[in-house]
Chain A
Amino acid sequence: DTAVSQTPKYLVTQMGNDKSIKCEQNLGHDTMYWYKQDSKKFLKIMFSYNNKELIINETVPNRFSPKSPDKAHLNLHINSLELGDSAVYFCASSHVQTRTEAFFGQGTRLTVV
């Protein structure tokens, strides 16, 4: 009955590989987000989808590609992983129309070696 769930929780991979992180929400929210938290705990938004439409695309390398097959899912695919991509990636969702607060997943700790 988890509200926002991400998989995997931990991901260790080599430089140059391609990997995906999946996110699902069962709250009926209309908007989903990806945030990145660096080693200094600084959190920054990467992407946002509202009803499957991309509405926020911050300055993120185009190796990062989000995909939203439906309102309840937002996946993040990363090509050609680099050492600097190591971080914790958080998925979140909210209902923008009714201004409900954002609920966050538990995070995916990505380590690129």
Chain B
Amino acid sequence: GEDVEQSLFLSVREGDSSVINCTYTDSSSTYLYWYKQEPGAGLQLLTYIFSNMDMKQDQRLTVLLNKKDKHLSLRIADTQTGDSAIYFCAPVSGNTGKLIFGQGTTLQVKP
């Protein structure tokens, strides 16, 4: 089946790096997204990676993909209090654009 798992909570200090991990089961996912959800808001796309890539860097964000282990991670450098939110990894399933989500990881950034 299709499943995504993330740890539920991560707490870091402002200025530190944050690493949010994700495992998924659908090996046919051709691209994988990271979304951010702030309280009471919708989902905002942060970044994505194609399944034929190992790494993608986008300013403070670094995405690592281990396709063999079906493991995806998001590293946020120099984490700021404004980064506090829920982060969802979302592989795309099949060719319908359907996103598979889990419960997300709540990132708490302490000043």
Contact = CB atoms under 8 A, between A and B. Distances in A.
A contact residues, range: 20 to 34
B60 interface: no
A96 B97 contact: yes
Given A90-B43, A104-B42, A43 B96 contact: no
B61 to A, nearest CB: 15
B42 A48 contact: no
Interface centre among A4, A40, A102 (most CB of B within 10 A): A102
Interface string A43-55: 1110010100001
Interface string B59-101: 0000000000000000000000000001010000001111111
Nearest to A100: B97
Nearest to A40: B103
Nearest to B92: A99
A48 B86 contact: no
B97 A31 contact: yes
Contacts of B43: 90, 92, 104
B42 A105 contact: yes
A92 B48 CA distance: 17
Interface string A95-113: 0100101111111000000
A55 B103 contact: no
B99 A102 contact: yes
Nearest to A99: B31
Contacts of A96: 95-97
A56 B100 CA distance: 13
A4 to B, nearest CB: 8
B48 A41 contact: no
Interface of A: 4, 31, 33, 35, 40-45, 48, 50, 55-56, 90, 92, 94, 96, 99, 101-107
